Structure formats: structure tokens, C-alpha cells
Amino acid sequence: MTLEFTQSQACTTGVELELQLLKSHDCNLARDAADLLARLGKVKHPGQVKPEITESMIELNSSIHTHYTALADELRTIRNVVVREAELLNLRVAGGGTHPFHQWSERRIYPTERFKHLLNLYGYLAKQFTVFGQHIHIGCPNGDDAVYLIHMLSRHVPHFIALSASSPFYQGEDTGFASSRLNAISAFPLSGTMPFVQSWDEFNAYFDRMYCFKIVESMKDFYWDIRPKPDYGTVEIRVCDTPLTVDKAARIAAFAQALANYYLTERPKRATRDIYLVYNYNRFQACRYGFAANFINAYDESHSSLGDDLIATLKLLAPYAETLESGSALNQLLDETAARRNDSYWLREQLKKSGSLNDVARLQSNLWMGKPERS
């Protein structure tokens, strides 16, 4: 089976955000996605809002953008419409990579054929997949560029994890992780990384074998951290937790876009298998410790703190961000990294203050809905 890679304008970007639907009275997960989607289907708004695997989730999709400011503006507009319609149903909406205290066994699969198929295939893992991520699509002119970009971005997977980390709690417990969400995804047999192919023809040969074995039917069957999306003409970064605000989501997308601009413009390095020798170590460190993680540079074998490596990367990207009008976004990420404070840090601080995970869920919902409480 041959996959044709749709040509896209280089470095265009789009965002998908998986969101939590909460009950207003206790901030546990609600099961009202169908009712909210029915309301949203009757009102005009940019982008798209879709169901996700369980009835406690929705997915927000942006349009395609060339610049950060337009993406951020659109995300705020969609957010406002979703919040308005949710409040009419006495619902809250929240970001965050996991809900702080829900029980996976209480979830119900959203009734589409694909989601029912996933339940039959993966059993209880399908309900445990009630975790919430940000996916970032980056446009590529052709499949060879997409393969190159995936290998280059793989070095930066720990950066994306630390920047977006917002899942310290799971089923009522502090996990000790900055991002516990990715542990749920790692349980799937087709998670991990794309094989070390070096052209789109090589990738097609790999996909054809997997298709002939009847292991996969489409690219949707791969749960890789970064995967090509040939029908969109993009590379899709899938490791980010959903941040607590749309503004943070837009800033992280701007970081991805600036990285792509740098690599596709400069071609500073060749892909090397060594990236994948240190990949799982670096990924785990980022999930566990966030900015404080140990980071191994596969190109020179050096060790540093992840935060320091990210700061150096953000400074390197400054001129490439300026051409995309996202310099301010990267400067904000630089400040957050220097302070070593991501969303997981904020969530833990709220638990220290309130002593209640119900209050934590309420406060993170307030942030997403654009209604933060004054301290």
C-alpha cells in the first residue's frame, strides 16, 4: 500500500487540544460530550470541535496558520464559544494532561465505530486513555522533508514534555511525575518512535509491510510520539500534555514552528541513530523531573539539565521565531523555563494551598475558561 504525501506550505501549523468536561458541583469528569457537541454544531465558530474516545472529552481543532498571533487569536475565539455553550449545560471545561482524581473504570466510550473498535482491541486501556494532549501539526513540502524533520524534532521531545507538563496527579494521587499522561500512552503496542528510515520511499516500504501483516490499516493506528500525517502534509507532534490555557498552547505551537523553520532552512545536522539510543532515557527523565531532568545530547555525548538545554535552544531559535512573528511567545517560554515553573508546578502549588483536588480541578478549569480567581 503506497501512501502519497500531500504537499503543504513549509512550517504552517495547526493545533489539536483534548479537553476535560467537568461537572460544576464537584469538578469530577462529566459524561456530556454528546450534548455539548450538539449545541456547538448549531453555532458558528472557527476551527472544529469533535468527540474523543470517552464521553468526558472533546477535541478542539484549529485552522491552518502561518503566524503565531493568528493561531492564538483563533484558539481564544473557539475557547470562548465552547465555554459559553458548556456553561449553558452547567458544565466546566478544563485543560491539563490528566484529571486529578477521576476513576478510569467510570468512563464510557463515545459511541463511534472507531472508538468501539479501539475498546474491543485494547480492552481497559481504551478507558484509561482518558488523558488529554496537545497535538501540533507542522506543514512539510514533501515526505522526505517530513522524515528528516521527525528525526530532528525527536531530539526535542523532552523539551515539549517539560514545557507542557500538566499531569502530576492521577486517580487522586500525586504521581511524582511532571507528566504522568505519557505513561498511559506508552502502554499501547504501537507507541514509541517511527523507525529510522531516511526517505519517504523507505517509510512507504515499512508501512506496506505493516499493512500486509495486517498490523495497521492507516497512520491512525500508530501512537508514535511524532508521526507523519501524509493526508494533511504534516508532521504531528503528540507528546504534549494539554496546557492549562490556550495561550500556553499557542506558545508551545510557536516553539514547534520555530524549530521546524530552523531545521528545514538550515539543515544543520544529519539524522543519526544515536538520537534513538538516548531517546527513551531522555523522555523518561522529562516525564519524571520536567525542567530538572538530566538530558543527554546524542550529537556530542554531553549531559546537562534539560532546562539549560531548552534555554540554549530557545535562544538559538530567536531569529527564526522573529520571521514567524512569534518572538514574544518564545521569550515567555524562556522566562518560564528559567524560573523552572510549568503547569505541573502550578497545580501542585494549588494543592498545597487548598488541600483539595476538587479545588485544584476547579482552579485549573477557571484558568482554561479565562476566569482565574484573584489571590
- Residue 4 in any domain: the answer is no
H/E element holding 368? helix 357-368
| CATH number of the structural domain spanning residue 49 | 3.30.590.20
| Whether the predicted pLDDT of 302 surpasses 50 | yes
pLDDT of residue 233: 98
Alpha-carbon distance values, 361 to 105, 167, 348, 367 (Å): 19, 12, 11, 10
Q: pTM value?
A: 0.97
> What's the mean per-residue pLDDT of the chain?
96
8 A C-beta contact, residue 330 and residue 320: no
- Residue 253 in any domain: the answer is yes
- Residue 67 in any domain: the answer is yes
Binned at pLDDT 50, 70 and 90, residue 281 comes out as very high
8 A C-beta contact, residue 7 and residue 20: no
294-314: average pLDDT: 97
> For the residues of 220-249, what is the DSSP string, one character each?
GG-EESEEEETTTTEEEEEEEEPPSSHHHH
- Residue 100 in any domain: the answer is yes
What does the pLDDT look like over 198-227, one tens digit per residue? 999 999 999 999 999 999 999 999 999 999
- Residue 1 in any domain: the answer is no
8 A C-beta contact, residue 249 and residue 243: yes
pLDDT of residue 1: 78
- Residue 370 in any domain: the answer is no
Residue located via cell numbers 494551598: 353
- The range of the structural domain enclosing residue 293 comes to 13-363
What does the pLDDT look like over 14-27, one tens digit per residue? 999 999 999 999 99
**Number of domains composing the chain:** 1
Binned at pLDDT 50, 70 and 90, residue 375 comes out as very low
Alpha-carbon distance values, 276 to 150, 153, 155, 279, 349 (Å): 12, 12, 9, 5, 35
124-150: average pLDDT: 97
- Residue 226 in any domain: the answer is yes
CA atoms of 218 and 297, how far apart (whole Å): 33
8 A C-beta contact, residue 235 and residue 138: yes
Region for 91 from its dihedrals, namely left if φ exceeds 0, alpha if ψ lies in -120 to 50, beta otherwise: beta
CA atoms of 314 and 337, how far apart (whole Å): 10
- Residue 369 in any domain: the answer is no
Binned at pLDDT 50, 70 and 90, residue 373 comes out as low
133-154: average pLDDT: 98
What does the pLDDT look like over 340-372, one tens digit per residue? 999 999 999 999 999 999 999 999 999 999 987
Q: N- to C-terminal Cα distance for the chain?
A: 58
CA atoms of 321 and 155, how far apart (whole Å): 19
pLDDT of residue 96: 98
Query: What percent of the chain has a predicted confidence (pLDDT) above 70?
Result: 99
Binned at pLDDT 50, 70 and 90, residue 2 comes out as confident
pLDDT of residue 371: 83
| Whether the predicted pLDDT of 164 surpasses 90 | yes
pLDDT of residue 374: 44
